[in-house]
Amino acid sequence: METLITLKEWAALRGRSYGSIRNTWVGHPDFPKPKQPRSRAGLGGGTPAQEYDRDELDAFADRWEADKRPAPLAMPDGPEEYRTLGAIARLLGLDGKTVTQYRETIDEQVDHTPRGARTVYHTRGVVEVLNKRRGMGMARPRNPLPPE
């Protein structure tokens, strides 16, 4: 049985902004079509919000995210060594900003040690974090997805 939901409600569940969904996805040819307008009975005038099938929206988002996810990075030689983020980026053949833009997440999830003015990180941990990146236009969700 289909669960009908508005785009604003769905955006909140996915940890995205309604504006991002409206501006990026709604015009896409494969984006699900609305099923019906939401009843405004007792709510006064105004344009009713369209309701969509949540399963169709979720399937579209999953396909979109899979298509936009970066290719996984190969584990470099010496994955147990501790290196600066810049050294890890060079080892992977990436621009340093590609790695340092994830510093907050890396700091939360990867073993690291301050060494004077520099911090060194467990190389394997950094590569694993980078391989979990969501991809273009998919920042870390503000709210984690609720349990199903």
The residue ranges of every structural domain in the chain are 4-68, 82-130
The whole-angstrom separation of Cα 115 and Cα 79 is 19
Q: Tell me the pLDDT band of 142, cut-offs 50, 70 and 90.
A: very low
Element (H, E) at 38: none
More confident residue, 138 or 66: 66
Structure tokens at 106: 């890396």
* Residue 51: Cβ-neighbour burial (10 angstroms; 0-12, 13-18, 19+): buried
Residues paired with residue 112 on neighbouring β-strands, in sequence order: 121
Q: Summarize pLDDT for 78-92 with one digit per residue, the tens.
A: 999 999 999 999 999
Residues of the chain with pLDDT > 90, as a percent, come to 65
Which residues have CB under 8 Å from 106's CB, separation 6+? 85, 99, 112, 121, 125, 126, 129
Out of 11-20, 91-100, 135-144, least confident range: 135-144
**Which helix H or strand E contains 100, and what residues bound it?**
helix 96-100
CB 64 within 8 A of CB 71: no
Give the residue-averaged pLDDT of 119-146: 74
Q: What is the C-alpha separation between 93 and 96, in angstroms, rounded?
A: 9
User: Which pLDDT does position 24 carry in this prediction?
Assistant: 87
Q: Give the mean pLDDT of the chain.
A: 86
Mean pLDDT throughout 28-32? Answer: 93
Element (H, E) at 119: strand 118-122
Instruction: Please tell me which residue, 20 or 113, carries the higher pLDDT value.
Output: 113
CA torsion sign for 57, 62, 66, 72 is: positive
Both ends of the chain: CA-CA distance in Å?
Answer: 15
- Contact (Cβ atoms closer than 8 angstroms) between residue 11 and residue 21: yes
pLDDT of res. 136: 57
When pLDDT is averaged across residues 88-107 and rounded to a whole number, the result is 93
